[in-house]
Amino acid sequence: MIPAPFTYKRAFSIDEALDLAARDGEDAKFLAGGHSLLPLMKLRLAVPEVLIDIGRLGELRYVREQDGHIAVGAATSHDELARSGLLLRELPLLAHAASQVGDPQVRHRGTIGGSLVHADPAADLPAVALALDATLVARGPSGSREIAAGEFFQSLFETALEPDELLTEIRFPRPDSPASWAFQKFTKRAIDWAIVGVAVQDGNVALVNMGQTPLRAAAVEQALAAGASPRDAAAHAAEGTSPSTDINGDARYRQHLARVLVGRALEESRSRA
């Protein structure tokens, strides 16, 4: 399988990438690690006419403390996130979840920005960004703007980004209690996408693959805030969800899994805190 023909262009700066995107408009896609986009292109589910390679832009690869929050460059690989001393210390949920994406080869190439803009509800990092109340920074022809993670994921594979905008940075506020985290995902085989997953940070609970977008489990969070036990709060995990039915399980099975996994994750985060 090879992708349909396209024109490859390599950007040597963010500004050049934006110029190229402005020129080619909706026919162009940014390419970083390519581990979401190239498989879709091989299946002809995506047929961009131009690929703008941003994979070599060092200015998009970093993890650093910045103005009281933690800033991550959009082209930072999963492997780099998983090994980051700063994240392991200050944001262990993100480091751990990144270490669970795909397999080592995928983590060497795949990037956090690519995973977020691909907006697959079965992916791990979109739910983690939601649980961590991340802010996404997009740059376009008229400058930068900030988008809250809760506003970013709009539908299946749909985000708030405009075609001429590039996700450049993800900003994570410091959690109240960094150690109070958990990440659970249920798969049939190690490298599979989550049938259901859950990310917990303090009182925030986000779900993987329980609807068209990653979701916050609002009813669980409200129950926790009102003092419910993890087990009682987890009973609300399927409320407000609309999971799909596919070869891995039907909607009712996913709702059952969500209750079980949220319960485990809440217990786990409490035992760490």
Partner 1 sequence: MKVTIKVNGNPVAAEVADRTLLVHFVREVANLTATNVGCDSTSCGACTVLLDGRSVKSCTVLAAQADGCEVTTVEGLADGSGEMHPVQTAFHAEHGLQCGFCTPGMVMAAVSLLDENPSPTEEEVRTALEGNLCRCTGYHNIVRAVLAAAPATSERRSA
Residues forming the site for partner 1 (CB under 8 A): 1-8, 10, 31, 34-35, 38-39, 42, 51, 53, 55, 79, 102-106, 108-109, 190-191
Q: Rounded to whole angstroms, what are the CA distances from 183 to 73, 94, 205, 263? A: 22, 9, 10, 11
Closer of 8 and 226 to partner 1 (Cβ): 8
Give min distance, CB of 81 to partner 1, in A. Answer: 15
Give min distance, CB of 27 to partner 1, in A. Answer: 14
Give min distance, CB of 62 to partner 1, in A. Answer: 18
How large is the angle between the packed helices 251-272 and 218-225, nearest 10 degrees?
40
Token pair in block for residue 104: 């080592």
Give min distance, CB of 8 to partner 1, in A. Answer: 4
Give min distance, CB of 43 to partner 1, in A. Answer: 8
Closer of 67 and 103 to partner 1 (Cβ): 103
Closer of 248 and 255 to partner 1 (Cβ): 248
Give min distance, CB of 49 to partner 1, in A. Answer: 11
Closer of 7 and 177 to partner 1 (Cβ): 7
Give min distance, CB of 271 to partner 1, in A. Answer: 21
Closest CA to 266 of 214, 223, 208: 223
Closer of 52 and 210 to partner 1 (Cβ): 52
Closer of 134 and 194 to partner 1 (Cβ): 194
Angle at CA of residue 101, ends 46 and 106, nearest 5°: 60
Closer of 87 and 149 to partner 1 (Cβ): 87
